Amino acid sequence: MTVYPFPMKNTANSVTTHRTAIAQATVKVSKQETIDSINHKKVGKGDVFEVSRVAGMFAVKRTSEVLPDAHNIPIDFCEVRHAVDGLDIVIEVEVQALSRVGISSEAMYGASVAALTVYDLLKPVDKEVEIRNIKLIKNKGGAEQYRDRLDREIKTAVVVCSDSISSGTKKDLAGKAIIDGLKGHQVEVNDYTIIRDEVESIQEKVLALYADRYDMVILCGGTGLSPRDVTPEAVRPLLDREIPGIAEAARNFGQQHMPYAMLSRSVAGLKGNTLILTLPGSTRGAEETMDALFPFVLHIFKVALGMRHAE
């Protein structure tokens, strides 16, 4: 027997965002008398719209119990709305949540159950009632919403700061993980260098990249607490404007995965028009920081038009 694995999508490394989804379903009745019965609450089983509203809300909250690949999501807002257009009963289900995963299935399932409830209540009085369509009409939120379409190449360098890697006693995995992560966001690396954990070496390299008009310089390693971890000390004096929120976002995201993330001393900011980021030297720390910052940090190059380097 062949077994086909069907794992649930792993969202552990996704960033929490505010998400909104609205789904719509249409129930078609065959006569005006049915609509009149609904409006005057003369359908034998009760208030059709109210029962449908409650059923739809229950369905939204219990989607993960029905759909095998749906995640159990705390729902922050749910509303089921009904409108009559001729012989059509139009149902809209709006769902909002602070979530790592999309909520379109919750809205669609809620609309489906709300429509089916209307059908079930009306079938004794209208044998030709039918559900016409169910569709998603709005889906907002998630990382894709914040993925800017950049109109130029972002000239990028990755600099690995490590005594052991520069001496050849250890292979670089974290720097390569950063490069792979950047490729996933359509950012090509123009310079990849390995240097020692020394303030002078780090500053010399950063200044050279700045002089060569690099848009983004990512330093990997040297952000911890060992005596040789000097990347923040080397970088901070070079910054014209520190951007504390970048490092705070990375540490906050990392803390949800690894309690030791609070010990990171990463810094970030601008030197002139060059964005400088410092990431942990561990592969896991570098990957999690990339998940926390990208593609969102690239918004800098979209909104700050005055930062554009001259050709």
List active site positions.
120
Hey, which residues does 279 pair with through a beta bridge?
220
Nearest to 251 by CA among 289, 296, 219, 213: 289
Cβ contacts of residue 179 below 8 Å, gap of 6+? 158, 189, 192
The encoded tokens of residue 11 equal 């969202």
Which own/partner pairs from 126-130 qualify as long-range (CB within 8 Å, at least 24 positions apart)? 126/29, 126/30, 126/31, 126/34, 127/30, 128/29, 128/30, 129/27, 129/28, 129/29, 129/30, 129/34, 130/27, 130/28
Helix axes 244-255, 283-293, angle to 10 degrees: 120
Omega within 30 of 0 (cis) for the link into 124: no
Identity of the amino acid at 106: E
Cβ contacts of residue 246 below 8 Å, gap of 6+? 268, 269, 277, 293, 297
Identity of the amino acid at 178: I
Residue with tokens 């690894």: 258
Nearest to 53 by CA among 93, 105, 99: 93
Tell me how far apart the 2 most distant CA atoms of the chain are, in Å. Answer: 85
